[in-house]
Structure 1
């Protein structure tokens, strides 16, 4: 069974009645609920818990980490970011949602500013699938529509995605690379754009299906990991010596 940890800074829910009304158990709560229904082994973690809820024990027992943050990126401790990054390099999957593009962990893994254009005007977003054979798109129609979302627009300052899954069009005319995959070390990373906190995006069944598919895709294969460092020769060396 895939073990998933849903991380959320959990600040908007404490400060904004619109957000708490939409997500009474937090954004992490609704994501964990639909993942549990799908049969995953799910736990949650939030910013204000000791070690942000991401202790060594939690990270070692996490196959896929989902990350949602916005107000408090700077409050995430650098040492926790480094632990998460190391786990990704070792093979843990990472799914970064919406404003998590500015999180320390995503910027560290991308090596760029991850900046973009934005506008909060409750406009329509249409997400087009541009890689219909990818497992993240399983069971999804060729496009998804959200009646209200925050606009993110190009240029999105990220490395060239290894796979581009979704492109968004917004009512105001902008477009955006909204579903991007990467590998970092032995781990898989998926960035998925929708999810502004004042809109009911995570109640949308198609958005839920994308995240469910992404968890399955990002889960480690649990195969034997490469051994790094000095290596003895597999065959005898002619006239050579080993140290």
Structure 2
């Protein structure tokens, strides 16, 4: 008998799938509400056309009605028909959105069901530990440190050979990844507060990653970034 046990489903995957189901459910409810409103508008438009048609037929059949009155009734009927056509188009579009939202909800529910029975992938011992900083991260760190001003203090430490510090590589790689996401989402304020400010003490603090570099890699260099020209 094997001692190996089947890994349990990943709770993080399940949580994301549950969030997707909740979002899809809200989308369905919203789409259905808009479709119901469009249906009411369509019904009102149909009633208006019916009334206008009756009025036009009555006016056209009465000898007491002047030509301009008959023409006005005909024009009103045409106006009501155009409004009805627009209401039909909006209702059809709303119905399509309900169908699309329903499909998304069905897919989200299927993914949630699958997540609840799919064993979690084993996490490697070195998961998340980059073997070295990728070139794009190195270029980004060099540019970041060029413009940093808040860390230029006597109690800050920097190591120009930061790539030889695995934790620094790990943290900067994570910061770079979140930076790109925040830049695309226009949430840079959140990146500074929730990401950079959280890592800065460990990267640049006197007791941080580079605390021993005053007497190691560069014994004469404390924290001083290059200034902009």
Q: Give the structure-2-normalised TM-score.
A: 0.21
* The structure with more helix, counted as a fraction of residues: 2
User: Larger Rg: 1 or 2?
Assistant: 2
Higher RCO structure, 1 or 2 (CA under 8 Å, sep 6+): 2
Q: Relative to total residues, which structure has the larger strand share, 1 or 2?
A: 1
